[in-house]
Amino acid sequence: MNIYFDHNATTPIDPRVVSIMRSLEELPLNPSSMHMYGRKARKHLQIARKQIADRLSIPESVLYFCSGATEAVNTLLQGFSRTVKAHIISSKLEHSCIRQTVSHLEKTGVSVTYLPLENAPNAATISLEALEKTLSHFPGKNTLVALSSVNSETGAMLPLEEAARLCAKYEAHFLVDSVAQVGKEPLFMYEGISAMCFSPHKFYGPKGIGFFYAKELFPFSPLLYGGSQEKQRRAGTENILGAVGAAKAFSLAIDELPTHRSHMLHIREMFESRIQTFFPQLMIHAEKKRTCNVSALAFPNIDAETLFIRLDQEGFAASLGSACSSGAVEPFPALLAMGLDEKIARSSIRFSFGRGNTLQEVTKATSCIENILKQISGF
């Protein structure tokens, strides 16, 4: 029996999304064409854009389709830095699409401030006090704050409303990566938010499609040049099937959130509780304020790579850091950014649950973990 506990990496496509995409797959849909098929394509693209924009309570004119959140983040960060003499405020906690792009821009001479974390045990998000202090030194429209609303590695939730308020107070732009939030927690478009990025394959939609919001006064130049698609902000023939699938997945994620959130929270609590009964020294990262579906767990004095491999062999999928250039597995960057001892970071595995997971799967998985821990540690 294969069990998938890695939904923060990607999710299966909802059959209802597949169905609506398949209804169009045999049509030659290019919105730039002038004939009837082109008009059909433009109509489907317009409907998909409106469906998403309405859910976000934003005008259709400020919603753009692209290939995914990585492209969206690069478009906005690099495009902003090419347009103004930018100062970027971010942190080492962010997803690599923000972290690596900011690092690249810093190497090209862009001014960057990395925020410290809040001063608390197991701190897993940025210090709002430090954010305000930094914004007071770099106020105005040339400053861009780039943060994730949810950390995909720990599930830690940024105090988004407070961060947006501070950005508005100091008239700075605020770019939010919301990839790990949709379908897990309610989403609000606070007044201080200038741009927001989304990736449908994280909420049961298709891969190869993404979308982002960028308000009218947010300055950015295109990342890709060529055609005049997406109001000349993103060249390339639009992915109509992807856009239609993304709109459907986004609507389902919002409509069904209360039910699925309650279910995933119950799954997570049972999972952690069962492990703590036989492994009481378990550490839960970002325990206090995190999304409903993430259990980022440290098993002190246990080699997480060994545990991960054994789980994989038994048919259980979870997540273990990332492979570096030498092929070795590196701990999750967020855990190191949190200041955790590297030994603890290397004993950590992320389990991320989805709406299709069951209590039966939790029972099987935790029993398997208990057996493996007994074999590799002799506890």
Provide the CATH number for the domain around residue 212.
Answer: 3.40.640.10
The answer on 269 and 250 residing in a single domain is: no
pLDDT of residue 325: 39
What's the CA gap between 34 and 304, in Å, rounded?
57
The answer on 182 and 298 residing in a single domain is: no
What's the CA gap between 128 and 278, in Å, rounded?
37
The answer on 95 and 65 residing in a single domain is: yes
The answer on 345 and 284 residing in a single domain is: yes
What's the CA gap between 39 and 316, in Å, rounded?
46
What angle (nearest 5°) sits at the alpha carbon of residue 354, between those of residues 293 and 6?
Answer: 85
Residue 355's φ and ψ, nearest 5 degrees, are -70, -15
What's the CA gap between 10 and 15, in Å, rounded?
15
Question: What CATH number is given to the structural domain containing 262?
Answer: 3.90.1150.10
Question: What is the per-residue pLDDT across 179-228, written as a single tens digit (0 to 9) for each?
Answer: 999 999 999 999 999 999 999 999 999 999 999 999 999 999 999 999 99
Strands of the 195-198 sheet, one edge to the other: 63-66, 210-214, 195-198, 173-177, 143-148, 87-90, 111-114
Q: How many CA atoms lie within 13 A of 179 on its CB side?
A: 30
The answer on 102 and 45 residing in a single domain is: yes
Number of structural domains (the chain) is 2
Domain boundary among 255, 283, 317: 255
The answer on 29 and 53 residing in a single domain is: yes
The answer on 210 and 86 residing in a single domain is: yes
The answer on 317 and 212 residing in a single domain is: no
The answer on 230 and 113 residing in a single domain is: yes
The answer on 349 and 295 residing in a single domain is: yes
pLDDT of residue 22: 95
Domain boundary among 255, 289, 308: 255
What's the CA gap between 267 and 292, in Å, rounded?
9
The answer on 246 and 217 residing in a single domain is: yes
Question: What is the per-residue pLDDT across 135-192, written as a single tens digit (0 to 9) for each?
Answer: 999 999 999 999 999 999 999 999 999 999 999 999 999 999 999 999 999 999 999 9
Kindly list the catalytic residues: 324
The answer on 125 and 274 residing in a single domain is: no
Residue 314: domain span: 3-10+256-377
Residue 348's φ and ψ, nearest 5 degrees, are -105, 140
What's the CA gap between 203 and 136, in Å, rounded?
37
Domain boundary among 202, 225, 255: 255
What are the structure tokens assigned to 339, written together? 């200041």
pLDDT < 70: residue spans in the chain: 1, 120-122, 322-329, 378-379
Question: What is the per-residue pLDDT across 97-108, written as a single tens digit (0 to 9) for each?
Answer: 999 999 999 999
